[in-house]
Amino acid sequence: NAGVTQTPKFQVLKTGQSMTLQCAQDMNHNSMYWYRQDPGMGLRLIYYSASEGTTDKGEVPNGYNVSRLNKREFSLRLESAAPSQTSVYFCASSEAPGLRYASTDTQYFGPGTRLTVL
């Protein structure tokens, strides 16, 4: 049981290049999330997918696109990378945050992708 996996772990891009960050979970969770973490700013939600087939914008979606490929996989794409997108990116999943008393109602995080845009 690998939990949440992310690839790649590290990436360096030049301004204007594109790339896709991959995320997969094997816990049969309904919801998946992409966050970015910057020093002194905590985690900020970029996009999320409440269930397979749906995606929604979070707090900081500009410059990103997502695809919920199936229940397991949720990818994040940077079409034209900018230095302001230098960050650590975390993918997370959760079972059912909409259920009021779900006993396993928490997010499980992947190991992160450290992205540098030059």
Residue 31 contacts another protein per CB under 8 A: yes
Site string for another protein, 92-111 (x = CB under 8 A): x----xx-xx---xxxxxxx
| H helix or E strand, kind and range, residue 64 | strand 64-68
Distance of CA 7 to the CA centre of its chain: 11
Cα(92)–Cα(89) distance, integer angstroms: 10
Residue 5 contacts another protein per CB under 8 A: no
Structure tokens at 3: 């939990």
Site string for another protein, 9-28 (x = CB under 8 A): --------------------
Q: Is residue 31 within 8 Å of residue 45, measured between CB atoms?
A: no
Q: Which of residues 33-52 bind another protein (CB under 8 A)?
A: 33, 35, 40-45, 48, 50
113-117 and 10-13 strand pairing: parallel
Residues that bind another protein (CB under 8 A): 31, 33, 35, 40-45, 48, 50, 56, 58-59, 90, 92, 97-98, 100-101, 105-112
